[in-house]
Amino acid sequence: MPGRAIVAKELAGLLSALAHPHRLRIIEELGRGEMDVNSLQQELGISHSGVSQNLAILRAHRLVVERREGRHVIYRLAHPGLAGWLLGGLDFLEREISAGAHLRDVLETVRSHWQKGAGEG
């Protein structure tokens, strides 16, 4: 397989791991710092098993890593710059949006929230 095809396949795998709203939110939350499953569950408002399943996919793609503190498992981004990379995606969305001012306002609110977390990491 030529090098470009291998890279394209790997990049497609990365993007597929990110292609879910809960996983994007997990990346965004972990961009602010380490968290356990219970904290992620509270922030995302989904079930414990839902958080765990999405973390398993992110771990399998080496996007998050874990460490243990006694019986607690704490997660963090393997590459802290990933949260900032996703923040850059908001610029793309903003340019491509034709939905109007409301969606632009929502994007600006999210950008502000994510930038706070990216600055702390």
Decide if pLDDT at 74 tops 90. Answer: yes
Segment 76-121, tens digit of pLDDT? 999 989 988 888 888 777 766 655 667 778 888 888 888 876 665 4
Please give the Cα distance from 76 to 79 (Å, whole number). 9
The angle at the Cα of 119, spanning 118 to 120, to the nearest 5 degrees, equals 90
Q: Where are the alpha helices (DSSP H) in 19-74?
A: 21-30, 37-44, 48-60
Please give the Cα distance from 93 to 106 (Å, whole number). 11
Segment 3-12, tens digit of pLDDT? 888 989 998 9
**pLDDT value of position 121:** 47
Pick the more confident residue, 115 or 47.
47
Contacts of 81 (CB under 8 A, 6+ apart): none
